[in-house]
Amino acid sequence: MTYALVDCNSFYASCERVFRPDLKNRPIVVLSNNDGCVVALSKEAKGIGVKMCEPWFKIKNSFTSQGGVAFSSNYELYADISSRVMQTLEHSAPKIEIYSIDEAFLDLGGINHCTDLEKFGYECQEKVKQWTGMPVRVGIGPTKTLAKAASYGAKKYTGTGGVVDLSEKRRQRRLLSIMPIEEIWGVGSRLKKHLNRMGITTALELADTDTKLIRRRFSIVLERTVMELRGHPCIGLEEHPATKKEIVVSRTFSQKVTTLESINEAVSDYAARASEKLRRENQYCRVVSVFARTNPFRLQDQQYSNILSCKLNLPTNDTRDILHTTKMLSRRVYKKGYNFIKAGVMLSDFYDKGVYQSDFFIPNSKRPKSEKLMKMIDKINANGKNKITFAAQGIRKPWSMQRHFQSPKYTTNWDDLLIVK
Amino acid sequence: MTIKYLGNASEGDLPPLKIPYFLDRIPAGWPSPADDYVEHPIDLNEYLIKNPAATHFVRVSGDSMINACIGDGAILVVDKSIEARHKNIVIADIDGSYACKRLLTRPKICLASENDKYNKIFIKENESLEIYGVVIAAINIIK
């Protein structure tokens, strides 16, 4: 077995650079919804001391005076570049698993017989850069966990040129001996604490721990990680994404919201979006939940947070049914006198079409032509411009997200194409 | 000039860009004798785009490439996966912004406009030239 992990370097910041040659070597940060805090940063931004999650208002002046450029998140652009990177990788390897928006595992089975793996890594890096403009690093190893570790090495040590091949046992042990355990794939901060208490601080120490002990003290999952660190593959490639178990749409408001009308409007807007996503998955949901909360950072405010769910008689994916339910729920979640900062809708308990037990005592009162109507709405709104909406979703939407520094949607909107002279 | 009639553009429920290609006109109210001869719809994407992952559209502003039939407002199909060669029309980084020019590698590397109003831009030896991609088609809307 041979796996590679291809990981984009500062993905969001690099996406912003693809169409902006003037941003080369300049510090870039990407801000969260409502331009609240830093969610991604380029290495130049890191270099001048910007940290992840820092509030934008705190760093604004010093950052811009040092030549930094800030962007609101432009998820349309990021999603498009991500899919281009993944398509390019599909040209390079027989099987790939898209692990996240900016990472993919490649199955290099067979490739190691035709070419030197390190050379393959550099070629892959070069190809992605040329085709999509995205800089990536490539970690190679006999297991997915070691490929991840190799990618960590490629990031940490710039001398590697962004490619590390851990096929050799000797190299594996050398890297693992200087790798803190919290950097291992699947080891979080909670496990770190427990392991540290047992005197295990480096990845190599974990790899050399008795697997039986690990299974007894922790879980079979961590035992698998230990096996993988030793070079025995236990986790295979997942080529097909698992069907979703729930859909959540929630946003932070651009300003505090106090009235039931505004909460209703926002929740209805999220509900319509969630229903659209549900239909895209070809699923029907039976449980609808609504949640809302105040801003925990406003210490002077009274705090409140609540979630309510409702189980429907029949699974649905009709926006009208879902709106009806969320309206009823948001009326109950809402409380007068609080400054709300965030609300959301969650759909769960999914069914495939026609696969559910109907109730003898409840009439099968499906709305006629529901499917046709929803299909038509989705078709009209297919370009993402929301040409047709339910009145409940509101029109002015004063609570909606603000993104003041958003770059053009270069690849998904005809009006936003890159202009060349 | 001869003109070959390829068929009408799509209407109604067909996805955009698919143009049905009939070999004959269909008489109304009678099963078409041509039914069995309907071929695959012509897809402009297929014609213009060889490598979707690496292809972008950009819009031209200005008249610097007018002699190459690239006018103001034209949309260019740019393929980033192609290696730029002598005489290719390319999108290149000129002082921090992307511009459309013809790449000449002989006798000296330069970026040339297709309009006498503009001078060639020579690349000095210690300068690097970054090519964003090679232009493979220009779309001019003429009506």
Q: Can you give the pLDDT at residue B35?
A: 65
d(CA A392, CA A328): 13
Find which of B77, B115, B127, B132 to mutate to test the A interface (most A CBs within 10 Å of its CB): B132
d(CA B48, CA B75): 12
- Taking CA–CA distances from B66, the nearest residue in chain A reads A421
pLDDT along chain B (143 residues), means of 10: 56 48 54 67 86 93 92 93 94 91 92 93 86 93 81
Q: Which of A88, A91, A411 sits opposite B56 (nearest CB)?
A: A411
Whether A418 sits inside 8 A of B98 (CB atoms) is: yes
Find which of B63, B95, B97 to mutate to test the A interface (most A CBs within 10 Å of its CB): B97
Q: Can you give the pLDDT at residue A393?
A: 87
For residue A414, give the DSSP letter: G
Q: Which of A131, A410, A419 sits opposite B54 (nearest CB)?
A: A131
What count of CB pairs under 8 Å joins A to B? 61
Tokens 């009639």 -> residue: B5
Q: Can you give the pLDDT at residue A241?
A: 67
A344-354 pLDDT tens trace:
999 998 888 87
Whether A421 sits inside 8 A of B53 (CB atoms) is: no
Whether A420 sits inside 8 A of B64 (CB atoms) is: no
Q: Which of A83, A130, A421 sits opposite B62 (nearest CB)?
A: A421
Q: Can you give the pLDDT at residue A216?
A: 92
A93-143 pLDDT tens trace:
889 999 999 999 999 988 877 789 999 999 999 999 999 999 999 999 999
d(CA A119, CA A121): 5
- Taking CA–CA distances from A18, the nearest residue in chain B reads B132
Residues of A numbered 131-150 whose beta carbons fall under 8 angstroms of chain B's beta carbons: which are they?
131-133
Whether A21 sits inside 8 A of B97 (CB atoms) is: yes
Window from A31-35, A314-318, B32-36 with minimum mean pLDDT: B32-36
Q: Can you give the pLDDT at residue A415?
A: 85
Q: Can you give the pLDDT at residue B2?
A: 61
Long-range contacts of B1-5 (CB under 8 A, 24+ apart): none
- Taking CA–CA distances from A89, the nearest residue in chain B reads B53
Strands A136-141 and B75-79: unpaired
Instruction: Please tell me whether the interface predicted TM-score (ipTM) of this complex is above 0.90.
Output: no
Q: Give alpha helix (H) positions in A55-210.
A: 56-65, 75-92, 111-114, 117-132, 144-156, 169-177, 189-197, 203-207
Could you please report the per-residue DSSP string of A7-53? EETTHHHHHHHHT-GGGTTS-EEEE-GGG-BEEEE-HHHHHTT--TT
Q: Is the pLDDT of residue A184 over 70?
A: yes
Whether B57 sits inside 8 A of A417 (CB atoms) is: yes
3-state secondary structure of A415: helix
- Taking CA–CA distances from A383, the nearest residue in chain B reads B16
Beta bridge partners of A72: A31
Take residue A198 and report the two structure tokens written for it.
């047992």
A160-173 pLDDT tens trace:
999 999 999 999 99
Window from A57-71, A105-119, A384-398 with minimum mean pLDDT: A384-398
Q: Can you give the pLDDT at residue A276?
A: 93
Instruction: Provide the 10 A C-beta neighbour count for residue A378.
Output: 15
Dihedral angle computed from the Cα positions of residues A243, A375, A262 and A398, in that order, rounded to the nearest 10 degrees: 100
Residues of B annotated as part of the active site: 64, 101
Q: Can you give the pLDDT at residue A329?
A: 93
Whether B96 sits inside 8 A of A133 (CB atoms) is: no
Q: Which of B52, B99, B130 sits opposite A420 (nearest CB)?
A: B99
Q: Which of B58, B62, B130 sits opposite A418 (nearest CB)?
A: B58
Q: Which chain A residues are within 8 Å of B76, Cβ to Cβ?
A: 420
Take residue A359 and report the two structure tokens written for it.
């109730």
CB proximity A84 to B under 8 Å: yes
A275-292 pLDDT tens trace:
999 999 899 999 999 999
Take residue A71 and report the two structure tokens written for it.
């962007």
Query: Residue A19: which pLDDT band, with cuts at 50, 70 and 90?
Result: very high
Q: Which chain A residues are within 8 Å of B115, Cβ to Cβ?
A: none
d(CA B74, CA B52): 20
Please check whether residue A257 is in contact with residue A304, taking contact to mean a CB–CB distance below 8 angstroms.
Answer: no
d(CA A202, CA A152): 14
CB proximity A372 to B under 8 Å: no
Q: Which chain A residues are within 8 Å of B61, Cβ to Cβ?
A: 419-421
Our CA-based measurement puts residue B77 at a distance from the nearest CA of chain A, in whole angstroms, of 11
- Taking CA–CA distances from B70, the nearest residue in chain A reads A421
Whether A130 sits inside 8 A of B59 (CB atoms) is: no
CA distances from residue A158 to A66, A343, B114 in whole angstroms, order as listed: 24, 43, 43
pTM of the predicted protein model: 0.78
For residue B80, give the DSSP letter: T
Query: Residue A364: which pLDDT band, with cuts at 50, 70 and 90?
Result: low
Does the CA dihedral B62-B64-B67-B70 come out positive or negative? negative
Mean pLDDT of the region A216-221: 91
